[in-house]
Amino acid sequence: MKPILSSFALIASGLLFGYGIRRLFEKGFLGPDERLGLIRSFLQRLVLLGLGPLTFVGALWIVEIREPKIALLALIGAFCHIFGGAAAAAGARLFRMAPPQAGAFFCCGFFTNVGAIGGLVIFLFLGEEGYAMMPLFKLLEELVYYGIGFPVARLYGTGQKTAAGGSLLPRLLRDPFLRVAIGGLLLGTSLNLSGIPRPAVYGSLNRLLIPLSTVLLLASIGMAMRFGKTAAWLKEGLALTALKFLLVPAVCVSLGALAGLGGIAGGLPLKAVLVFSSMPVAFNALVPPSLYGLDLDLANSCFLISVLGLAALLPVLHFALGLM
């Protein structure tokens, strides 16, 4: 029970702390609202450009990565987003949603919280070696986000903003988050293959920094949470949550098993596929609705309902990992 309770505690504390900060800003206790956006941006950059790369370099340093098949994690990670978005688009047709709602529903199916929540869950359930699978699973994430997710969301929308437009390759090359992620992946892999032993202190550092990174990132998400119209989209939110917690992982794990991931490194890559593919809606799902005039209330509701659904998911996930 300890990993499950630890996951609940850290996820809830991060989101609630961030939401509490937001409420204090709304009441004027912490200054003008503009500061809130600066704090959110600072926390996200601190984690994604600083603490995150530091932790997964250390994790990659000690994991067994000499089996070539492990590279398939990147392809399955990309497929996870694409299949989730396609399934949500089909679901939107069943609900007979208008384009603004269908586009928001697609975003919630497409964008998955592999990093903040997935990284914490796999670290607490499977340790550093499991956590080291995350940068591999996320390797093509930016490519599918900007190359598929945003353009498809734009097709549903009526907004005039074009922040995600333009040529894909130059935009990806300019993205500091992608460059740091790839740099960390290359450095960690190089250290692993070099045979240089990792300093013992690195393990203790990661046991502190991995949960801290998740709490800080979730706090930044909590600072933007809105509960207003969640009840109005409860049916759609529950359907989307079932899609992400049941359908997507069932298909992705089957694909991983067929690729032979269960037969290498003690089955760790296949367990990683199960964890990462069953995570809730990512906060990124709220960005395209803001850009393209989609239904932000629906997207926000699906995000919140899926995060709350972790209360049911985590015990089942922990049990399923024990059977693999």
Average pLDDT along the chain, 324 residues, taken 10 residues at a time: 79 87 83 79 83 83 75 92 96 94 95 89 90 86 84 77 53 69 82 86 87 86 75 90 96 95 90 96 85 87 91 92 88
What distance in Å separates the CA atoms of residue 70 and residue 192, rounded to the nearest whole number?
14
Q: How far is CA 279 from CA 105, 109, 224, 249, 259, in A?
A: 16, 11, 20, 9, 21
> What pLDDT shows up at residue 73?
92
Q: Which two tokens stand for residue 278?
A: 């069953």
CA dihedral 308, 313, 315, 319 (to 10 degrees): -170
Q: Nearest-5° angle of CA 226, CA 123, CA 237?
A: 30
pLDDT in tens, 12-59: 888 889 888 888 888 877 777 778 878 888 887 888 788 888 887 888
> What pLDDT shows up at residue 65?
62
What distance in Å separates the CA atoms of residue 49 and residue 177, rounded to the nearest whole number?
6
> What pLDDT shows up at residue 163?
47
Q: How far is CA 159 from CA 63, 122, 149, in A?
A: 45, 37, 16
> What pLDDT shows up at residue 15?
84
What distance in Å separates the CA atoms of residue 300 and residue 12, rounded to the nearest whole number?
17
Alpha carbon 224 to chain centroid, angstroms: 16
Give SS3 for 164.
coil
Q: Which two tokens stand for residue 110?
A: 């497409």
144-168 CB burial, b ≥16 within 10 A, e <16: bbbbbbbebbbebbebeeeebeeee
Q: Domains (ranges, CATH) in the chain? A: 1-157+167-323 (1.20.1530)
> What pLDDT shows up at residue 268?
92
pLDDT in tens, 146-188: 888 888 888 888 654 444 445 556 665 666 777 777 788 788 8
